[in-house]
Structure 1
Amino acid sequence: GFGNAPPQGSIERSDWERKQRDSDGQLHPLCMCQEPKYFNDNPVNCEMNKFDDMLRFLYEHVQDFQLVAAVDAHFDLFSRAWCIAELVQAFGSGVPISMRIPSEDDLDLYYNELSLLDMRRCRASRKEDEEMILARILNIDVFNTCLQWLIFGSE
């Protein structure tokens, strides 16, 4: 399924319900296999928490490796905690990051919001994930500044 539902009426619940649907409002199909699904509350078996190790491995073993962040037209990527976690890990590991912005017009349209970008406002379906991800950023203000440089310094 989609994991445990957050409390009814919460912002997290609203996000959880939205993420169950595609851009046309249709429910995403569920895997029909009989294999158990593991989420972050079972960290040993969970596949989602292995990103850091995989990024580090690729950076050490693949020549010219970099993280390419494909940014959506509304720049929602920068409000999503797990997307930020990938950027945090890459940034902290010295992995080059290449931002791919949809268009200069989109960048201009969202300039004011992006110039005030603060990772403390990122969201995840689980509050524990938000807290864990933010705790990994040593200096959030410095990270925010570096992230803005990546956004506005992109071609």
Structure 2
Amino acid sequence: MEAKNNNDATLIVVDPRFTRTASVADIYAPIRSGTDITFLSGILRYLIENNKINAEYVKHYTNASLLVRDDFAFEDGLFTGYDAEKRQYDKSSWNYQFDENGYAKRDETLTHPRCVWNLLKAHVSRHTPDVVENICGTPKADFL
């Protein structure tokens, strides 16, 4: 509230409940309980597609440039290594590619198809505004 009042910040509230804070928000985006990941994935998709990401920061201060092992995948809503019988994951494929010195391989250009950045882009690509509205119940006008 202090940032809103003193610095002209935009106050956005994403909450299933219309709270006191929501009542004074510039934007209130209602969301169905339990749909946070879909909402955040839609936000990420929007930011990526509209070039609202600080690319230099992402390259140098996140894991976005690291290359993920070739045997890691996400299909049919599950990551690799899922054992349906045990209902748990074997996370051994959830790692980076390493060079001969044991350092994680990087692609500073963020163009390699196995870099975290491109895997993230592919993962959130299906979370269009229509999908977010349908799953989360958040009107597109509030989401965008």
TM-score (norm 1): 0.21
Instruction: Name the structure with the higher helix share.
Output: 1
> RCO greater where, 1 or 2, for CA within 8 Å and sep 6 or more?
2
**Greater strand fraction, Structure 1 or Structure 2:** 2
Which structure would you say has the larger Rg? 2
